[in-house]
Chain A
């Protein structure tokens, strides 16, 4: 019989059982037994020491989004745990599989306001798929495998384990306890054949069907099935922000990105289709605009693996619960083949207006200050769709989404539902560690970069090759834009006095360039990609930058501003 081991060691053995390769973490008092045992597991598992726990969780999210494998976070109790809460909430709303393990005070001190004690389970419950307090060493193997099973299956999400110090120190006869089944939890619901028949009939009957898809396509690995479905039915489609990359940007059926700053065509087509087929998306308000007028003319089919999403916001004619890959394959089998659809004119007209009124003025202004979108387009030109694009939140995010091109899945990582500023830099670190063979570019603004700028230290220590493109306008650009448009140009608290970012990069030993003029930009981008290792490109962009098109909040998705003066009028 094997000798008994501690719960802390059982933890590392359990991680090996789950094939964990990388842990993003930060040590502290109540997790020290676990960190002590890591000494013996350094050869098998890589630990990335971040500079702040928020950096650990966002890096784990970037890792998970780039690889599809759950990201792993290890932090201490109290402040260590509260510092990951933002990222846990972000992972919950964006369906990202992460497992967070936090230290906790010994059981006899629970509820007694001990040093660095907080009720983590109480805090984590509303923002996790599952959370559990490990109170005995015997439960470690069970809890860890259950955590990974829940995080990665069904609609993925974050799991939090609250690991008490006595469970870390306690002794156990360790044996792996793999989890493949929980009786109260059905992650892969059986798809109803009769509903597939019904949906296929509705699609065949439709004159103007339109598909809107989201990250569910990437999460279920349904990229090929989606392309085949659109091809067989000759059905046009629009992508949500997080769905980007699921289809090749050049796919003829893809009409662009949906939502507030999306392309004209897919938003207009939403209001003109006679059948809307939504797959793996959740009708976020940034996609639907005013709900009362959203696609009211159309019949609606909603396909999602999470039953509670069906009918949550948009009343549907048919809801199909199931994995997107299986449902789309089933539908493709059933629908009649079509070569063309009569309603291809709409996107052609919309695209022409958008190109003339929005895209060209943004990416080819010719003179004046550099536009932020121009920088994105210039990088896109250099990477030819091959790079993994990470963004922060705000104008940088919308422009990166609009002007990047994608030729393969898992190429766009962004904080969608929560809109977490500070996400970009650490997420890029995690993405690069998950996909070392890929070029990773992160676009961020001067606001978001400074929210998690300390992770430059992680980049330095780990030598992580991320290309950091700072769209620097010395404003909190998105809020400034809203103040200009909707708050009578009262620029309350959005002007930023910034440091010399290249000087900070230099202090971390990270090469950098500051760009002021259009002429310098292409060669600076070439230099950034020619340089091996991390690089900061600080581009001074137009201070009063705007992002268009824009569907103002509370408007219908076909009420679209093209610039400061013009509105889009379909049919003009």
Chain B
């Protein structure tokens, strides 16, 4: 059995009603207890940020993060084991949104 650890999951999302329960449901169906939950505006205007702390096995967290990102109104989701947080995430989201903007102009 893979050992359980504390993970910090982040998700950058559109501001849509109902997204909190959609994301919470991904944890509930696995009986994963959310230890800490924060939802607040991110550094990018109009984009919300979820921060979720939970205890689980890493293999499970990988699928959880992908299932969060699968929600139509979720832009990106990540997880990290320890507290060392880089600024890569927000740059990644910015770059993704820029690329999508270009793609949308090409349609």
A129: which of B66, B72, B103 is its contact (CB, 8 Å)?
B72
B94 within 8 A of A: no
A185–B72 touching, CB < 8 Å = yes
Residues in A with CB closer than 8 Å to B17 are 133
Q: Is the interface of B mostly helix, strand, loop or mixed?
A: helix
Instruction: Pick out which of these stretches binds chain A: B21-29, B34-42, B49-57, B81-89.
Output: B21-29
Tell me the minimal C-beta distance from B63 to chain A in angstroms.
Answer: 5
Question: Is B59 an interface position by the 8 A CB rule?
Answer: yes
Q: Is A112's CB within 8 Å of the partner chain B?
A: no
Chain A contacts with B in 146-205, Cβ cutoff 8 A: 150, 180-185
A181 to B59, CA, bound (A): 32
Assess whether A308 is in contact with B13, with CB atoms less than 8 Å apart. no
- Chain A contacts for B4, CB-based, 8 A: none
Identify the interface centre among A129, A130, A131, A133: most chain B CB within 10 Å of its CB: A130
| Residues 87 to 107 of chain B near chain A (Cβ within 8 Å) | 97, 100-101, 103-104, 107
Binds B, one of A118-126, A291-299, A513-521: A118-126
Complex alpha-carbon distance, A183 and B97, angstroms: 7
Q: Are B67 and A150 in contact (CB under 8 A)?
A: no
Q: Does A463 contact B (CB under 8 A)?
A: no
Distance between A351 CB and nearest chain B CB, rounded to angstroms: 37
Q: Which residues of B contact A185 (CB under 8 A)?
A: 72-73
Nearest-neighbor residue (CB-CB) of A146 within chain B: B72
Chain B residue contacts of A131, Cβ below 8 A: 18
Bound CA–CA A129/B104 (angstroms)? 22
State whether A308 and B70 are in contact (beta carbons under 8 Å apart), knowing that A125-B22, A184-B14 are contacts in the complex.
Answer: yes
Complex Cα distance, B72 from A130, in Å, reads: 7
Q: How far is the CB of A162 from chain B (nearest CB, A)?
A: 10
Given contacts A126-B29, A308-B69, contact A184 B104 (CB under 8 A): no
Q: Contacts A126-B29, A184-B13 given; indicate if A306 touches B22 (C-beta within 8 A).
A: no
Q: Residue A503 at the B interface, CB < 8 A?
A: no
Chain A minimum-CB-distance residue to B14: A184
- Name A122-140 residues within 8 Å CB distance of B: 122, 125-126, 129-131, 133
Chain A hits for B75, CB < 8 A: 183-184
In the complex, which residues of chain B have a beta carbon less than 8 angstroms from the beta carbon of A356?
Answer: none
Contacts of A126 in B (CB 8 A): 22, 25, 29
Nearest A residue to B74 by beta-carbon distance?
A184
| A27-53, CB < 8 A from B | none
Shortest Cβ distance from B60 into A: residue? A312
**Interface flag for A365 (CB, 8 Å):** no
Check A311 against B63 for contact (C-beta < 8 Å).
yes
Q: How far is the CB of A155 from chain B (nearest CB, A)?
A: 9
Query: Of A122, A183, A315, which one neighbours B21 at CB under 8 angstroms?
Result: A122
Question: Is the pair A308, B67 in contact by a Cβ cutoff of 8 Å?
Answer: yes
Write out the residue numbers on chain B whose beta carbons fall within 8 Å of the beta carbon of A307.
Answer: 66, 69-70
Q: Is the CB of A181 within 8 A of B104?
A: yes
Query: Contact: A180 with B107, CB < 8 Å?
Result: yes
Count contacts on B: residues with CB < 8 A to the other chain. 25
CA distance A133 to B69 in the complex (A): 21
- B62 in contact (CB, < 8 A): yes
B29, B73, B107: the one contacting A184 at CB < 8 Å is B73
> Considering the chains assembled together, what is the distance between the CA atoms of A184 and B99 in angstroms?
11
Once bound together, how far apart are the Cα atoms of A16 and B69, in whole Å? Answer: 32
Decide if B103 touches A181 in the complex (CB within 8 Å).
Answer: yes
Report chain B residues within 8 Å CB of A130: 72-73
Complex partner residue of A312 from B63, B74, B107, CB under 8 angstroms: B63
A contact residues around B103 at 8 Å (CB): 181
Complex interface: chain B residues within 8 A of A133 (CB)? 17
Which one of A121, A183, A306, A308 contacts B101 once the chains associate, using CB atoms below 8 Å?
A: A183
* Min distance, Cβ B72 to any Cβ of chain A, angstroms: 5
Q: B69 to chain A: which residues have CB within 8 Å?
A: 307-308
Q: Known: A181-B103, A308-B66, A311-B63. Is A125-B25 also a contact (CB below 8 A)?
A: yes
Q: How far is the CB of A177 from chain B (nearest CB, A)?
A: 14
Residues in B with CB closer than 8 Å to A180 are: 107
Listed residue (A122, A180, A308, A311) with the most chain B CB atoms within 10 angstroms of its CB: A308
Docked pose: A152 CA to B69 CA in angstroms: 19
Q: Which of A150, A185, A311 has the most CB of B within 10 A?
A: A185
Closest to B21 in A: A125
Distance of A133 Cα from B18 Cα, bound (Å): 10
Residue interface mask B1-34, A partner, CB < 8 A = 1: 0000000000001100110011001000100000
Is A150 touching B72 in the complex (CB atoms < 8 A)?
A: yes
Q: Which residues does chain A contribute within 8 Å of B21, judged by CB atoms? A: 122, 125
Closest to A126 in B: B25
Tell me, in angstroms, the Cα distance from A567 to B25 when the chains sit together: 42
Q: Which residues of B contact A312 (CB under 8 A)?
A: 63
* A125: B residues at CB distance < 8 A: 18, 21-22, 25
Known: A121-B18, A308-B63, A308-B67. A184 touches B25 (CB 8 A): no
Q: Give B residues with C-beta under 8 Å from A.
A: 13-14, 17-18, 21-22, 25, 29, 59, 62-63, 66-67, 69-70, 72-75, 97, 100-101, 103-104, 107
Given contacts A126-B22, A181-B104, A308-B63, 6 further A-B pairs with CB under 8 A are A121-B18, A129-B72, A131-B18, A183-B100, A183-B104, A311-B59
Q: Could you pull out 18 A-B pairs where Cβ atoms are within 8 angstroms?
A: A121-B18, A125-B18, A126-B25, A126-B29, A129-B72, A133-B17, A181-B103, A183-B75, A183-B97, A183-B101, A183-B104, A184-B73, A184-B75, A307-B70, A308-B63, A308-B66, A312-B63, A315-B59
